[in-house]
Amino acid sequence: MIVWVNGAFGSGKSTLVDELRPRWPEALVFDPEMVGYVLREIVEVPTGDFQDLRLWRRQVAELAVGLVEEYRRPVLVPMTLVDPGYVGEIFGALKAADTEVHHFFLKVSREVLEKRIDGRSFTPDDPGKDERVRSWCKDRIEPCMAAAGGLPGDTVFLDGELPPTELADLVLARVGAGAGA
């Protein structure tokens, strides 16, 4: 089983997964950004967004399926994924491999997202880069919010402004897993 936690930057995806980990210890965590970081070391990313690389999308789907098949454990995936074509490509590959997918999307107001992004430090040793990353994240708020309506029909929308413990309770109850189920 794959539990994909989706939402805009600052919506609480990683925070929710961090809350789920101790309550669902058999679950593995797979962050697709790591695949992107590796690819950036090997090839140029012309658009600056590694999700635009077909190889990234293919590798993310294959690695997620491989983790489920090889280790027979659930996999938690915290990743913003809102481009309809990319969602279809990755989720289609997961379903084609007969992998059970639970897709959650954290809905959060623009104001809260901006506040959370402003409160984060991405590269503490480089304030200029830190601000560029914050700006990049903020520029993607509107597309992420707008994309929510075009996500797969089985997407479960959660109020990302709820406390992480409550969100974890909702996820665990929905997937029937962990100590909270």
pTM of the complete model: 0.93
Residue 179 above 70 pLDDT?
A: no
Superfamily of the domain at 2-170 = P-loop containing nucleotide triphosphate hydrolases (3.40.50.300)
C-alpha distance from residue 22 to each of 4, 27, 73 (Å):
17, 9, 15
For residue range 64-102, list pLDDT tens digits in order: 999 999 999 999 999 999 999 999 999 999 999 999 999
For residue range 126-174, list pLDDT tens digits in order: 989 889 889 989 999 999 999 988 999 999 999 999 999 999 999 999 9
C-alpha distance from residue 73 to each of 2, 10, 68, 93 (Å):
9, 27, 6, 18
Helices then strands, counting H and E runs in the chain, come out as 8, 5
At 26 the pLDDT is 96
Question: Where do the structural domains in the chain lie, given as residue ranges?
Answer: 2-170
